[in-house]
Structure 1
Amino acid sequence: MRSELEALADAGGAEWEAPVFEPAAPTSSAPPEGTAARGRAHRKVAVAGTVVVAVAAVLALLRQSPPPPDAPGLPAPVGIPYARVPDVAPPSTAPPPVAEVPSSAPVAPAQKEAPTVSAPKPPPRQPPPKQPRLTARPVFTPEFLARCAGLTLAAAAELGCPASQVRPERERCPEEAVDFMDRMRAGHEEEFSLTLDVMNQPGGSSQLGVYRTGKYVGAFNGEKLAIHRGWRFEGQIWTEGKKVVGRFTKMFPPAGAADFWGDPLPPEVPVCIVLGHERDNGIEKDEGSKPGAVILSRAVTARFIKGEWPQP
């Protein structure tokens, strides 16, 4: 293609130089020379104004931009919510340690901690000398005496059992019991037959029973003006001594019973009754008796008293 065009260019002629179209005639619309100069001046002014406006805008943006976050002393922008930070402890306001504060004075070298040494313990207090313990006097209850009866001499002494001769406490018959015995027409030292144990060993004087120290319920075996056969008595028997000692202190008349004058009696009446004749002050043990198993007649002699309880 290039070689062909060059060949055409070499082939000159008038027809090649003639214009294809007639040039257009200049019109009167072309601006005059003065008008063109003024247009160029206006364009320069517009460009300069545009530059000034752009510079002013840049300066305004620079004034309105927020300060950097770590710039101290500048307030935070208004209307911009703070982002939630994790819950961490606030920075301590305490002054830094002495080692971290630069100082012109020489800093003493840190001292090593001395090993912890426990203070010497005071010597233990000597306990006060033990006071001799006062041993309470054993109470000779029926149960205690019954337990003592089955022990050996050494064991009985260690337990605090009484000696073989046991005597009830010395005391007088209560006034209330004396008044009731008077109402029953029971005289002082008046004797009668008493069954010792109607609950477990009922019977008469011809039969034998086995007894030990303890409480018993007996029964009246006679007839009086105001006391009748079968009335119950409650009391205590001691079997450790040479003789059996017994004291009965309660009488249980049946319902509706009355005294010698016809006055009703309460269901429990205080009395004072001892075992044995007046001259004996106790009951002799039958042959074959052992400690804790004394043999006696099931019905023995008893008597009312209104003064001091007799001692065997």
Structure 2
Amino acid sequence: MGSLFNFYLPYKDESGNNLSAFAQALAIIAEAQKLISIGSPGVAITYSANYAQTVTIHQTYESGHWNTNTSGANQAAVMEAMESLMGGKYSTLQKRLQIAPITTITYSDYGGRTHQQVVESDLEYIKFLLDQGWDVLGWQNQSSIPGYAIGGGIATLPREINTLIQTTLAKYAIDYASDARSEPIKFYHLNKPYGFFSNFAPYPIHLKDRIWPTSEHYFQAQKFVNTPHEEEIRQAKTAREAAEMGRDRRRPLRRDWEIIKDDVMREALYAKFTQHPDLTEKILSTGDLKLIEHTKNDRYWGDGGDGTGLNMLGQLLMETRERIRYDFSSGQ
């Protein structure tokens, strides 16, 4: 059987610029190729559809064809770009990469059925794919709400339908767990899957009675606690700028920094992954997989690029995950 994975697909780069539909489509294709290379017979990606699109997509696959001609804005534009790429350079994916529609867009008519019945059918189709051994990517981006929810019209769905989607896909993720993804999760760049683990990810945290734009802002500022430099770094326009300011040795680094830096990072990570419910869901969805900051630029916080680094950020993230898991189990 296949597996359902939480697939985080940013639609903006770290500078805040929109990623093109083709850039996002290439990320989907790369993930599909990766899964196929380790034995998956095929890969499907969840897609927020209206009823007409859902019908067309299913009719296309049932007739033995691969091009659903999905088009439009946002997610639809990414699907259009994906199928365009599959019509050329990536033609080998034509029968191995599909769209798994979930009818989240409110529609006036559902072919004699209710909206909930249509969604139940959509979810059954995903289960069918998983039972056939296909892997399914639960598409998330910066606008997604917690769990495996997808974009588009989900924010305006009736609560019972939204809950149905959330709980069913989360259950699939558990029921269809697979050893095929027992390999560690490697992260570094914001515009790659699991980029939310980066301290540069745009998730503000509340600590010391102040709001810090990112965990990177907080971490770097604590090198100069109780000095004007602390507030200067908090007000840095970007996480990258905050990092550069914190590494500037013309600023007087606190004497105990090497002793307390892990505790500062631990504090920042716990705040980040508990103050944002979507991040809580995301870190818990990684189960017990090893988390690795994969970069040759850092041998302390990262793995050094060759696995010989300490990977301290990854270690603290796994510690944070376990702490959050304990919080949930103890009802905190």
Is the shorter-chain TM-score for this pair beyond 0.5, marking a shared fold? Answer: no
- Give the TM bin, normalised by the shorter chain: under 0.3
Name which one, 1 or 2, has greater alpha-carbon Rg.
1
TM-score, normalised by the number of residues in structure 1: 0.24
The structure in which a higher percent of residues are strand is 1
